[in-house]
Structure 1
Amino acid sequence: MVSIVPSEPVKRLGTGWRWWFSDNVHLAVDSKIEFRFQGSRHLLALYDDGARTSGETSIDEQCSSKPRGSERKLTFVPAGRAYREWFETTSAARVTFLYLDPAALHTWDDGEVSLSPRIYFEDSLVWETASKLKKTIEGGGRNCAPYLEALSSVLAHELSRSSEALFREPKRVSRGGLAGWQRRVVVEYIEQHLGEQVCLLELAALARLSLHHFCRAFKQSFGVPAYQYQVQRRMEAAKLQLADRSISVTDIALSLGYAQTSSFSSAFRKTTGWTPTDYRREFD
């Protein structure tokens, strides 16, 4: 748990189990607070609101930040890193700490995820997924495990994508794969068009490569062809929607670009080993 000094003006409520834990912290007006944490779990801080007159956030006493506004900001501390933050509040503030076991954060292909420390960054996709994770942990129970695992997988992808955006590599193919900026623009485009059949020529144009070189570089970077990557990302989105019983399997299939429910069910089963209906029953 994050240590908070002094503890008196602070109200906090934590809940969770297994790989996931949520810690809600409420800070009073005109408080001078210090947070510290270093542990075996990843830490993701969500700053809901509030402002600070002064302060500093650091990870491993190296990268640091001194912004004042904190609404909808995020800080990510990889497991084992030393996190310290102090500030003075000018209004009531709320911070949520999500503690995530590294085993919970994996990509769709179960590959290792390389996550970089981030301080006071903004990312709407990470924010929305983390907020869903927080609400599910707090409202949870063991029946939510499949949904939590799906959210964690999506969060791992979004955090790795967000970390990738930090680096601005030259506009060229690196080591036979896509350069950092090419991976970023291609992945963002695929995420925004999950319900469409993405044209490889369009992706190649975004990466400023010929179709032949793009297909080869994409597979080198992601381990699978671009089409298969999109299918895998569609299935991760489907897992999240299947947790909501107000959405029919047919509507989920249509929203993800499948003209027939049978085609969607076949792709989902091939990817996950479950039929959409069987996967949904896990939430009962």
Structure 2
Amino acid sequence: MRTSGETSIDEQYSSKLRGVERKLTFVPAGHAYRERFETGSATRVTFLYLDPAALHKCDENETSLSPRIYFEDSLVWETASKLQKAIEGGGANCAPYLEALSSVLAHELSRSGEALLREPRRASRGGLASWQRRVVVEYIEEHLGEQVCLLELAALARLSLHHFCRAFKQSFGVPAYQYQVERRMEAAKLQLADRAVSITDIALSLGYAQTSSFSSAFRKTTGWTPTDYRRQFE
């Protein structure tokens, strides 16, 4: 969770998303990449560099190898994590394994990009367009400590309230209000790891007037009370 900063590729694709845990960014060769991070706690970012030839071999038309900022894909994540651990583990005989993992990662990136190309067609059947998802999510992330009105989000997406609520659920799988609560709880998890911050202060920072309301929302979302969750860090 970064407190501020921005990620951009070619100054055309950009994001100020704060919650970037388990998020992936893909920068094709020849594109300008810039990232600025300010965080309130230790943050780990891993950079993996792949031979462009390996990627082009998996995607001869190069249609799916477009820049992507903060996307999620469990298969790409798992393969990238294995590659990271293999590199950090070292060993004289790991080169063939690294080569194999790199090939798999190239294939998964290509597959993920092809799925992204199909996304606009799904959005046309009732979901939010990519620009609408971006502006709405960024606004929610920047106002986690406030009770954001659905009318505000609908206005940002330039839709009626009814159309926005239906399109948001189709795009994200949950209603807009539930999505906001889930994002607050993810932010709460990070703050709970710091025992110097009281649970009351965390609740207030996330827009809850009463600690009991925050505790109830946290337990409903995570299955833990804030106190029990914090004990995991002792």
Query: Is 1:231 the counterpart of 2:196 in the alignment?
Result: no
- 2:29 matched residue in structure 1: 64
- 2:50 matched residue in structure 1: 83
- 1:263 matched residue in structure 2: 213
- 2:192 matched residue in structure 1: 242
The structure-2 alpha-carbon separation of the partners of 1:281 and 1:186, relative to structure 1 and needing over 3 Å to count, comes to same
- 1:88 matched residue in structure 2: none
- 1:281 matched residue in structure 2: 231
RMSD: 3.9
Deviation of 1:214 (Å): 0.2
Match of 1:176 among 126, 139, 142: 126
Where in structure 1 do 4 or more consecutive aligned residues deviate above 4 Å? 42-45, 69-77, 112-116
Match of 2:143 among 193, 204, 210: 193
Match of 2:172 among 216, 222, 228: 222
The structure-2 alpha-carbon separation of the partners of 1:192 and 1:72, relative to structure 1 and needing over 3 Å to count, comes to closer
The structure-2 alpha-carbon separation of the partners of 1:280 and 1:227, relative to structure 1 and needing over 3 Å to count, comes to same
* TM alignment of 1:128-207, pairs within 5 A: 174-207=124-157
- 1:210 matched residue in structure 2: 160
Q: Please give the TM-score of this superposition, normalised by the length of structure 1.
A: 0.45
How far apart, in 2, do the equivalents of 1:44 and 1:218 lie? 22
User: Which structure's residues are more often strand, by fraction?
Assistant: 1
The structure-2 alpha-carbon separation of the partners of 1:75 and 1:66, relative to structure 1 and needing over 3 Å to count, comes to farther
How far apart, in 1, do the equivalents of 2:183 and 2:200 lie? 18
The structure-2 alpha-carbon separation of the partners of 1:114 and 1:231, relative to structure 1 and needing over 3 Å to count, comes to farther
Paired residue secondary structure (2:29):
strand
- The answer for unaligned runs of 5 or more in structure 2 is 1-21, 38-44, 53-70, 78-112
Paired residue secondary structure (1:64):
coil
Q: Deviations over 1:5-61 (max 9, x none)?
A: xxxxxxxxxxxxxxxxxxxxxxxxxxxxxxxxxxxxx9979xxxxxxxxxxxx98xx
Count residues in correspondence. 149
CA contact (8 A) 1:43 1:76 kept: no
Q: Please give the TM-score of this superposition, normalised by the length of structure 2.
A: 0.54
Identity %: 75
Amino acid at match of 1:183: R
Q: Deviations over 1:227-265 (max 9, x none)?
A: 000000000000000000110000000000000000000
Deviation of 1:64 (Å): 1.1
User: Which structure's residues are more often helix, by fraction?
Assistant: 2
